[in-house]
Amino acid sequence: MIRYFILLFSVFLVFPVFPQNAYSQATEQRITGHIDEELQRSISLLERAVNINSGSMNFAGVRKVGALFDAEFKALGFETQWVDGMPFERAGHLVAHRQGSGPKILLIGHLDTVFPVDSTFQKFELVDQYFARGPGTTDMKGGDVVMIHALRALSAAGVLDSVSIKVVMTGDEELSGNPKSLRSAALVEAGKWADYAIGFEDGDGDPKTAVIARRGSSGWRLQVNGTRAHSSQIFQPEFGDGAIYEAARILGAFQSRLADLENLTYNPGLILGGTDVHYDAAKNSGTAFGKNNVISSSVLVTGDLRAVSLEQLEQARKVMREVVAEHLPKTDASIEFRDGYPPMAPSDGNYRLLGLYDQVSQDLGFGEVLAVNPRKAGAADISFVANDVLMAMDGVGLMGKGGHTLDEVADLRTLGPQTKRIAVLLYRLSQLD
């Protein structure tokens, strides 16, 4: 973590912050004042969104949340489009665009939650004057509301025309469709259009942080074969060590040889071994048969691999392939890799955007904002665009705790400050040369 702070400090020395007098304090006061005036309206919008079940596979619910936000964007003069999700077996995405005179900024949200239609966790509920619980309050209908609330404030202050905004709200972030190339096409296209990209996930739930690096999420599948024989002959030259010992060697070598790659993780999530192995990929389950007096002839292992950059991902895969190629006697093995969410690597541009956001926060009296440790930032949609834009940042949505659980709670005290910070940031970005 110290390394990230040092890099952040060095970026501040290289990149200028906002030029003095490049923006109007009166305009910023109109922006923040409007946010205060409409705070209850934003809470009401959040309640309406949360009360619509939009588990990723509840296509009707996802579309209904999309329609709710679609009306908000149209009221602000956006042209909207629903991207049908049938080609990637999901509900689809909401895309909204408003052409302005200034920089091109991509805003990213998502409509779905992890809670299916039969979940017991369905409704928005005020816990007290500060907290509200409900499915998606923080992840990420709260972030969607922060986005819309900020855009409304820019419109009310008369400066929305000074930026070109494209919004992509995916309908399958929590359980993404396949193929990834189709489900991510709208994001990728928007990323190639944009100068800047901002995601409205809740990050680590702390308003003192934002995300400028996310680890990607990809998969791997290891198949190991041994020579079946009576157990009394194990380790003999003609029969060898068996598939289970070979799998254990490989997994142990993964751990030892990859340990020095910072922020990399490589988790085996399922293992099946014996003489007969059957795996059901659709159900992430399987069966195995083996006898204690028989040398194992088959092992299957599946896992995930999370890297902070594409370079680190390729380095890890190279090491894993080398390990797999070093067979114990009378065994062989192969490994396959599956691409998923790409990493969002830390970059000078991302650190600069964080620096600009931090300056806004301090100017508004909300304190400094630091970078989240990538180990605390999972994969997210912004990773599909981060390599194509000048600057990218995520984790600026509504804060709280308990995401993905029945204890998900939003801290409503962060709604106003989070919205003010992002709205003023958007305004100041419009004033940069």
Q: Which CATH number goes with the domain that contains 9?
A: 3.40.630.10
Mean pLDDT of the chain: 94
| Domain membership of residue 370 as a residue range | 2-214+344-431
Mark whether 221 and 363 lie in a shared domain: no
Q: Which CATH number goes with the domain that contains 296?
A: 3.30.70.360
Mark whether 237 and 158 lie in a shared domain: no
Mark whether 174 and 244 lie in a shared domain: no
**What whole-number distance in Å separates Cα of residue 95 and Cα of residue 82?**
6
Mean pLDDT of 370-377: 89
**What whole-number distance in Å separates Cα of residue 286 and Cα of residue 298?**
13
User: How many domains are contained in the chain?
Assistant: 2
**What whole-number distance in Å separates Cα of residue 322 and Cα of residue 326?**
7
Q: Supply φ then ψ for residue 117, to 5 degrees.
A: -65, -25
pLDDT at 330 over 70: yes
Structure tokens at 390: 């000048």
Q: Where are the alpha helices (DSSP H) in 125-241?
A: 141-156, 180-183, 185-193
134: amino acid identity, one letter = G
Mean pLDDT of 326-332: 96
Tokens 């099946």 belong to 272
What are residue 280's DSSP bridge partners? 285
Mean pLDDT of 137-166: 98
pLDDT tens per residue across span 30-82: 999 999 999 999 999 999 999 999 999 999 999 999 999 999 999 999 999 99
Mark whether 225 and 207 lie in a shared domain: no
Lowest-pLDDT range of 91-95, 281-285, 384-388, 407-411: 281-285
Side-chain-side CA neighbours of residue 318 (13 Å): 7
Residue ending a domain, among 294, 312, 341, is 341
pLDDT at 14 over 80: no
Mark whether 262 and 189 lie in a shared domain: no
Choose among 173, 129, 89, 130: nearest CA to 341: 173
pLDDT band at 171 (very low <50, low <70, confident <90, very high): very high
Mark whether 228 and 110 lie in a shared domain: no
pLDDT, position 165: 98
Q: Spell out the residues 6+ positions from residue 185 whose beta carbon is closer than 8 angstroms to its own.
A: none
**What whole-number distance in Å separates Cα of residue 211 and Cα of residue 307?**
15
Q: Where are the alpha helices (DSSP H) in 129-266?
A: 141-156, 180-183, 185-193, 242-257
Helix (H) or strand (E) holding 341: strand 332-341
pLDDT at 15 over 80: no
pLDDT, position 23: 77
pLDDT band at 245 (very low <50, low <70, confident <90, very high): very high
- Cα–chain center distance at 203: 9
**3-state SS class at 88:** helix
Residue ending a domain, among 341, 371, 400, is 341
Lowest-pLDDT range of 20-29, 85-94, 268-277: 20-29
Mark whether 189 and 287 lie in a shared domain: no
pLDDT, position 432: 85
Tokens 């028989």 belong to 294
Mark whether 298 and 209 lie in a shared domain: no
Mean pLDDT of 339-362: 95
Mark whether 269 and 286 lie in a shared domain: yes
**3-state SS class at 353:** helix
Bond prior to 57 in cis (omega within 30° of 0): no
66 with 141: CB under 8 angstroms? no
**What whole-number distance in Å separates Cα of residue 81 and Cα of residue 70?**
9
The pTM for the full model equals 0.88
191 with 389: CB under 8 angstroms? yes
**3-state SS class at 391:** strand
**What whole-number distance in Å separates Cα of residue 214 and Cα of residue 344?**
5
DSSP letter for 316, please.
H
Mark whether 221 and 259 lie in a shared domain: yes
DSSP letter for 18, please.
P
308 with 343: CB under 8 angstroms? yes
**What whole-number distance in Å separates Cα of residue 293 and Cα of residue 63?**
56
Residue ending a domain, among 290, 311, 341, is 341
Mark whether 39 and 53 lie in a shared domain: yes
pLDDT, position 433: 63
Mark whether 399 and 302 lie in a shared domain: no
Count Cβ atoms below 10 Å from residue 323 Cβ, excluding itself: 20
What are residue 300's DSSP bridge partners? 223, 272
Q: What is the CA radius of gyration of the chain?
A: 24
pLDDT, position 9: 40
Choose among 129, 160, 109: nearest CA to 415: 129
